[in-house]
């Protein structure tokens, strides 16, 4: 492939790709292709990345968390030093506003995640060290092996395969990462990888700790995630592609952590509507249209009482939707898929309240779109009415009774979040209990009086949920130490001689490491 | 189906099966069919079990762990009250000795597991409660939903689908269990279910907390594990069947925890041989022939140095094998599969040192069998030489050098355990480090100077390991609280009003529950 095509990062070297096809990102505001040309990597290139990662994984076995912490912190500093370049590049590739979104919100979130992961790596507590002195058995989580991270289109920084949450977690657990940059923002991913190379050098880490490829064939993607040298996979993105990768990884027994589609149901109780309908309409509009609706936790399904109060809310939201600016979407594919989703919902019997057509904003855009359907209709075909329309739109379901609301909750698929709005005086508490019981096991995170779009980087966060929102309901993609745990394997030491134990499991506590010793959590030495 | 066929346990009722085919267990000592006839359950029966379990799961949501603890403890007492009947029945169905194996070892282990799980349910600490007061987000593990447990043939008590480790863990996490009894010991499973019914009544638990079916078609088994109403699956048994169930469960996004085949490599360093060769031969023989070799952690592959010392060990083991009594195998299927495994290894180039033929013991039996192969030969076809021969046999690999031993370690598949024997003076420490680095990530539990067959019920135990030993290297089937965690889903509460939080996440610590509050483990209230 000619020298004008961007190289891939293999084993520390920016290497000219041997691929025979290439692609360019598109600026969604101008709808023009951007100048840089990126390669589609052929299998031999991917294979060499896996080989280098496997050798590095072997080399790093048993290294203390402090080494990975040092890298993650140096990397965060290298990113800070490139803030302007990253912001400009990501803006051109995604159309997302530079400020406050990219520069003031997403980039600080990204470096914060890297630093939180570094802290957890340094304190080693994510390893869940368990010591049973009577049986002389000790266990902890150890590195799982090379991790492949597929980043999504909608967060060029915070979920980037070479810098986001999965990346930070995989490194904190002591694993090398093969990053698959999203084809919507390849130049952004390249800058991250350049920063990573600088941090690798300054902290004396192995060259293959971070590698980057931009694109593969579907076949090679499946081959990559099922390769025996791979430890685990993180994937955030569209359901269809994710499920294909899951099928391949499952066959090889490789843990794959998915974050797929979610419509994030919001239940609004009648008391809350009476009490603060206008404010609910404001909150919803702001949450639903933020970033042109392109958040995994966008509220795509809202269940309200039928009758006057529910109608009033639909009207208030429609009014706000039609007056609000129309944002730019990330890519033509996103607009198409949004349009198809809206069409599917309408074909199933939803009626259009406002919006419904392409255009209206700068570049790639689609009108802010509100649909509604009766609870009865929803329950006739609940699967179709849960079609995700990823973008600046939502479906309101008008339920005739609390019983019908409960039925709707019980017909829901797995989701990342579920929200319930209720009155502050306690008048909705009986209804709340009914909805909560149905909703709780169907969502990873339950919210009260709050829209789902803010995903705090908290130890108690669950950015996960039951299938098909993810592939396993026990794990979260956001929040340390829980997100790191995904990239560890359980390692038990049975009668292993004292001097051969990992530092974390020796009698002397190597630092301030929380360990469970004979059933009690402690930072003390074992005596 | 006629009244002479044993009923199945559906929703608290012993129900005449509607199945049209049936089976009988065989006494492996007499090789005669036992009198009781058991049904193969058709889909509508399985479907009604799922429906009852799903309704019960919904009913029990939010119940405190103390209720499940009370049931588990009452159940353990009911089992104790039936110790003689269980022992006699299991002996007839499996041929395993009544004493010490069934009565004095496996049954106390089983009730101990139930009581440990009860204790963990009562203290709620398995839920891993996390509280972030600044963000007002709290998380814990909650019940995952109905669990299907498939028990194996080789532990009629401790891994029984209606009484074993997976069962205890699933109930402790607050889930109903659909037990699939193993067809080799259906009457044993029935007695457990009778004891469970008594405990359900005495502790006022829902009738469908424990249900029992004996057998299904392969097709219905796959349908069961992929049903949308199921929360998770535990399976211990043969690899082929397990992988078929995994494929079905994976497609539906259902967590399935497998414990499949494992050959449990044992590496013996030259210093250990010089120092205590005879004692190693004793330990190995005892571990390998215990229970006629029918343990998941049976040492099926032993890597020794070639030359005089290694030859001497092979000779010493061969001598012990030929003199040791030949045990009875669990079933004709086990003998056949052992025989096929031995044949595969010989066809690949292993040579027979001793044994190799059917018979020699009471009833269903096969000679204690020792095979050997050179390290060079092993490395030509490492996959075939890792064929599991489940029974009273093992393959010795004679390695020319420590480098070759490392190569062998690196060619190993995922296993439950890996053992290294080294001299006590430290002369083997250099070689140990090389082997350990290759072996550590390929096994769930690493042992020093110890055979793998004892699986202590310890919090630090890992009875798990990388694929294909299990389906996910992050989980263990033995040891609480880790084994319970498998049957929980992560539930985050974001801004949920204080009085609506589960007790475990409220500011006041409801008992002595270990919680991680703002990064620190504590039993204190949140202030």
Nearest to B137 among A132, A458, A466 (CB): A458
Instruction: Give the gap in angstroms from C-alpha B119 to the nearest C-alpha of chain A.
Output: 11
Q: Which residues contact B196 (CB under 8 A, 6 or more apart)?
A: B75, B78, B162, B163, B209, B210
φ/ψ region of B406 (left if φ > 0, alpha if ψ in -120 to 50, else beta) reads: alpha
CB contact (8 A) between residue A445 and residue B143:
no
Joined together, the tokens standing for residue B347 give: 């066809």
Q: A279, A320 in Cβ contact below 8 A?
A: no
Cβ neighbour number for residue A317 with a 10 Å cutoff: 25
Instruction: Give the gap in angstroms from C-alpha A459 to the nearest C-alpha of chain B.
Output: 7
CB contact (8 A) between residue A458 and residue B496:
no
Three-state secondary-structure class, residue A434: helix
Q: A479, A126 in Cβ contact below 8 A?
A: no
Instruction: Give the gap in angstroms from C-alpha A381 to the nearest C-alpha of chain B.
Output: 17
- Residues of chain A neighbouring B449 (CB-CB closer than 8 A): 495
Calculate the average pLDDT of chain A.
97
CB contact (8 A) between residue B474 and residue A490:
yes
CB contact (8 A) between residue A437 and residue B246:
no
Three-state secondary-structure class, residue B406: helix
R_g over Cα of chain B: 24
Per-residue model confidence (pLDDT) at position B261: 85
Question: Scanning the structure block, which residue is given the tokens 């973008």?
Answer: A391
CA B114 to chain centre: 15
- Residues of chain B neighbouring A516 (CB-CB closer than 8 A): 459
The DSSP H or E segment spanning A355 is none
In the 3-class helix/strand/coil scheme, how is A193-259 assigned residue by residue? Answer: HHHHHHHHHHCCCCHHHEEEECCCCHHHHHHHHCCCCCCEEEEECCHHHHHHHHHHHHHCCCCEEEE
Per-residue model confidence (pLDDT) at position A52: 98
- Residues of chain A neighbouring B514 (CB-CB closer than 8 A): 520-521
Residues of B with a catalytic annotation lie at: 259, 296
CB contact (8 A) between residue B448 and residue A496:
yes
- Residues of chain B neighbouring A488 (CB-CB closer than 8 A): 474
Nearest CA in chain B to A485: B474
Question: Scanning the structure block, which residue is given the tokens 């496996």?
Answer: B106
Q: What pLDDT digit, counting tens, does each position of B334-356 carry? A: 999 999 999 999 999 999 999 99
Joined together, the tokens standing for residue A103 give: 């520069």
Q: Kindly state the DSSP code that residue B526 receives in the 8-state scheme.
A: P
Alpha-carbon span B134 to A454, nearest angstrom: 15
User: Is A260 in the B-facing interface, judged by CB distances under 8 Å?
Assistant: no
**CA torsion sign, A145 to A150 to A151 to A152?**
negative
Q: How many CA atoms lie within 13 A of B402 on its CB side?
A: 15
User: Is B448 in the A-facing interface, judged by CB distances under 8 Å?
Assistant: yes
- Residues of chain A neighbouring B467 (CB-CB closer than 8 A): 252-254
Per-residue model confidence (pLDDT) at position B86: 98
- Residues of chain A neighbouring B485 (CB-CB closer than 8 A): 474
Nearest CA in chain B to A465: B490
Question: Per the omega criterion (within 30 degrees of 0), is the bond before A422 cis?
Answer: no
CB contact (8 A) between residue B130 and residue A475:
no
Q: What pLDDT digit, counting tens, does each position of A257-308 carry? A: 999 989 999 999 999 999 999 999 999 999 999 999 999 999 999 999 999 9
Q: What is the dihedral of CA A51, A52, A54, A58, to 10 degrees?
A: 140
Q: Which residues contact A80 (CB under 8 A, 6 or more apart)?
A: A111
User: Is B432 in the A-facing interface, judged by CB distances under 8 Å?
Assistant: yes
User: Is B135 in the A-facing interface, judged by CB distances under 8 Å?
Assistant: yes
Nearest CA in chain B to A55: B438
Alpha-carbon span A140 to A126, nearest angstrom: 9
Q: Is the pTM of this model over 0.80?
A: yes
User: Is B239 in the A-facing interface, judged by CB distances under 8 Å?
Assistant: no
Predicted complex ipTM: 0.97
Q: How many residue pairs from chains A and B have C-beta atoms closer than 8 A?
A: 208
Per-residue model confidence (pLDDT) at position A4: 87
R_g over Cα of chain A: 24
Full pLDDT tens readout for chain B, 527 residues: 445 899 999 999 999 999 999 999 999 999 999 999 999 999 999 999 999 999 999 999 999 999 999 999 999 999 999 999 999 999 999 999 999 999 999 999 999 999 999 999 999 989 999 999 999 999 999 999 999 999 999 999 999 999 999 999 999 999 999 999 999 999 999 999 999 999 999 999 999 999 999 999 999 999 999 999 999 999 999 999 999 999 999 999 999 999 998 999 999 999 999 999 999 999 999 999 999 999 999 999 999 999 999 999 999 999 999 999 999 999 999 999 999 999 999 999 999 999 999 999 999 999 999 999 999 999 999 999 999 999 999 999 999 999 999 999 999 999 999 999 999 999 999 999 999 999 999 999 999 999 999 999 999 999 999 999 999 999 999 999 999 999 999 999 999 999 999 999 999 999 999 999 999 999 999 99
- Residues of chain A neighbouring B144 (CB-CB closer than 8 A): 473-474
CB contact (8 A) between residue B462 and residue A414:
no
**Helices A107-123, A165-172: inter-axial angle, 10-degree rounding:** 20
CB contact (8 A) between residue A521 and residue B500:
no
User: Is A425 in the B-facing interface, judged by CB distances under 8 Å?
Assistant: no
Q: What pLDDT digit, counting tens, does each position of B69-88 carry? A: 999 999 999 999 999 999 99
User: Is A302 in the B-facing interface, judged by CB distances under 8 Å?
Assistant: no
What are the φ/ψ torsions at residue B16 (nearest 5 degrees)?
Answer: -65, 125
Query: Low-confidence residues of chain A, pLDDT below 70?
Result: 1-3
Per-residue model confidence (pLDDT) at position B152: 97
Calculate the average pLDDT of chain B.
97
Q: What is the DSSP secondary-structure string of B182-197? A: -TTSHHHHHHHHHHHH
Nearest CA in chain A to B258: A253
CB contact (8 A) between residue B460 and residue A254:
no
Per-residue model confidence (pLDDT) at position B2: 46
Q: Best of A128, A243, A460 to disrupt the B interface by mutation (most B CBs within 10 Å)?
A: A460
Angle at A402 (CA atoms; ends A404, B493), nearest 5 degrees: 105
What are the φ/ψ torsions at residue A22 (nearest 5 degrees)?
Answer: -150, 175
């Amino acid at each position: 492939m000619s020298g004008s095509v961007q190289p891939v990062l293999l084993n520390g070297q920016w290497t000219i790709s041997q691929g025979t096809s290439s692609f360019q990102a598109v600026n969604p505001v101008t709808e023009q292709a951007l100048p840089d040309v990126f390669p589609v990597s052929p299998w031999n290139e991917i294979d060499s990345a896996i080989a280098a990662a496997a050798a590095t994984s072997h080399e790093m076995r048993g290294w203390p968390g402090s080494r990975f912490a040092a890298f993650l912190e140096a990397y965060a500093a290298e990113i800070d030093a490139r803030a302007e370049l990253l912001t400009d590049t990501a803006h051109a590739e995604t159309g997302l506003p530079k400020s406050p979104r990219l520069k003031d919100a997403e980039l600080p979130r990204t470096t914060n995640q890297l630093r939180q992961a570094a802290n957890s790596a340094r304190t080693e507590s994510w390893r869940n060290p368990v010591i049973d002195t009577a049986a002389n058995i000790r266990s902890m989580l150890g590195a799982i092996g090379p991790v492949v991270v597929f980043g999504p289109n909608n967060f060029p920084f915070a979920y980037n395969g070479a810098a986001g949450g999965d990346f930070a977690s995989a490194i904190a657990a002591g694993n090398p990462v093969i990053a698959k940059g999203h084809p919507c923002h390849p130049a952004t991913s390249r800058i991250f990888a350049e920063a990573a190379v600088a941090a690798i050098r300054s902290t004396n880490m192995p060259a293959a700790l971070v590698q980057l490829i931009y694109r593969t064939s579907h076949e090679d993607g499946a081959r990559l995630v099922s390769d025996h040298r791979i430890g685990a996979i993180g994937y955030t993105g569209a359901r269809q592609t994710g499920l294909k990768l899951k099928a391949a990884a499952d066959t090889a027994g490789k843990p794959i952590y998915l974050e797929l589609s979610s419509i994030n149901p919001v239940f609004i109780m009648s008391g809350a509507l009476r009490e603060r309908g206008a404010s609910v309409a404001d909150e919803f509009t702001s949450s639903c249209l933020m970033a042109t609706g392109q958040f995994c936790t966008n509220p795509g399904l809202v269940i309200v009482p039928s009758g006057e109060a529910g109608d009033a809310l639909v009207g208030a939201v429609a009014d706000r939707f039609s007056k609000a600016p129309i944002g730019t979407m990330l890519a033509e594919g996103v607009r198409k898929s949004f349009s198809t989703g809206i069409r599917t919902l309408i074909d199933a019997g939803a009626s259009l309240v406002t919006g419904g057509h392409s255009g209206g904003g700068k570049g790639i855009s689609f009108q802010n779109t509100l649909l509604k359907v009766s609870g009865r209709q929803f329950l006739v075909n609940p699967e179709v009415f849960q079609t995700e329309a990823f973008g600046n739109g939502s479906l309101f379901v008008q339920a005739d009774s609390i019983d019908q609301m409960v039925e709707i909750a019980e017909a829901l698929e797995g989701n990342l979040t579920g929200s319930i709005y209720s009155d502050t005086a306690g008048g909705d508490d009986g209804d709340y209990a009914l909805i909560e019981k149905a909703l709780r096991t169907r969502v990873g995170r339950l919210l009260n009086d709050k829209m789902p779009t803010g995903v705090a980087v908290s130890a108690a966060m669950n950015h996960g949920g039951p299938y098909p929102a993810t592939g396993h309901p026990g794990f979260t993609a956001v929040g340390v130490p829980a997100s790191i745990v995904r990239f560890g394997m359980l390692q038990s030491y049975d009668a292993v001689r004292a001097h051969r134990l990992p530092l974390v499991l020796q009698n002397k506590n190597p630092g301030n490491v929380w360990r469970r010793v004979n059933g009690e959590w402690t930072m003390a030495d074992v005596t």
